[in-house]
Amino acid sequence: MSRDLSYLTIITYGRTGSTALQSALNALPGVLIRGENYSALRGLALYSRAIAASADRHHAGRPGHPWFGTAKLDPRETVAHLREHVIDHILRPRAGTKWIGFKEVRYEPGHFEDYEQLLDYLLFLNTIFPGIRFIFNVRDEVQTAKSGWWPDNPEAIEVLRTTRQWLEKAHEDVSRVLVGGNRSRLLRHEEWSTDQNLVLEAFSELGLPQDDSAVRSALGAQLDHGKGSGSPS
C-alpha cells in the first residue's frame, strides 16, 4: 500500500528533554510523533535480515531439503509488510497526518553491544521508512546523571558519556551515508533549553511544517511525569 507519509525519529537517552521535543513536534500541523516503544523495531530488524539471508540461499523447493521453501521468500515484500504493520499498529496516523514517527531512548551501552551495531540499526530504520529524518538529542552527562533515575546508577557518567559520543558520531555518519537532502540534525539540551531558536531552525532544516508559536509554547510547558518530575526527560 502506498501512503503519502514522511518519517522522523528522535534518537536520544533518558532525561535529556526529549519528551519536550516530542511535544514540540506534535504541535506542528500534520505531524504525529509517538513515544517510546521499548525499541520494538529492533526485533523487526533481526527478522527482516533473517528473511533476506534465508532467501539468499536460493534452494530448490524439495521438501526434504534443509532450506525448503526459502527460494520463495521475498525480502522486499517482507519489509513492505513490516512497514505497514508498524504504521497501522504502533504509529497509527490520524486523518491529515503527513509526518509520522516515534521517540526512543534505549541507545546506551547495554542496549547495543557497540557503536557499529547501533549505526546498523539506524540504517535499518531508513530501510523500513525510506527517507526518514533523524533528530539526535544529547545532554551534558554530568547534568543528566543528576536527573531522574540516573543518580541510582554508579556508572551513570561513564555510560552517558559513551552514549553521547555514540549519538554525536551517528549524526555525522547518518548525514554522510544517507542521501536525499537534510536527513539529520543534532540538538544539545544545554544549548536549545536556553535558545528555542535552535529547535525551530532544526525543524525547518528537516523540512517539517512550521508553527513557531506552537513550538515555543510546547517547549515552555512544564512536564509532569516520572521520577524527578519537572526535570528533563
What DSSP line would sit under 75-92, residue for residue? HHHHHHHHHHHHIIIII-
Q: What would the pLDDT profile of 95-146 be if each residue is shown by its tens digit?
A: 999 999 999 999 999 999 999 999 999 999 999 999 999 999 999 999 999 9
Beginning with the edge strand found earlier in the chain, give each strand of the sheet holding 133-138 in spatial order. 31-34, 99-104, 6-11, 133-138, 184-188
Whether 123 maps to a domain, the answer reads yes
Cell of 195: 535558545
Whether 169 maps to a domain, the answer reads yes
User: End-to-end alpha-carbon separation of the chain, Å?
Assistant: 36
Q: Is the pLDDT of residue 227 over 60?
A: no
Whether 48 maps to a domain, the answer reads no
Whether 97 maps to a domain, the answer reads yes
Give me the mean pLDDT over the 160-181 stretch: 94
Cell of 45: 530488524
Whether 229 maps to a domain, the answer reads no
**What percent of the chain has a predicted confidence (pLDDT) above 70?**
93
- Which CATH number does the domain housing residue 180 bear? 3.40.50.300
Whether 115 maps to a domain, the answer reads yes
Cα torsion 18, 20, 22, 25: sign: negative
208: domain range? Answer: 6-39+78-220
**pLDDT of the residue at 191:** 97
Overall domain count for the chain: 1
Q: What would the pLDDT profile of 56-106 be if each residue is shown by its tens digit?
A: 776 767 888 888 888 889 999 999 999 999 999 999 999 999 999 999 999
Whether 232 maps to a domain, the answer reads no
Give me the mean pLDDT over the 36-43 stretch: 97
Whether 62 maps to a domain, the answer reads no
Q: Is the pLDDT of residue 185 over 80?
A: yes
Give CA–CA dist 200/208, Å, rounded.
10
**What percent of the chain has a predicted confidence (pLDDT) above 90?**
84
Q: Is the pLDDT of residue 33 over 70?
A: yes
1: pLDDT confidence band, cut at 50, 70 and 90? very low
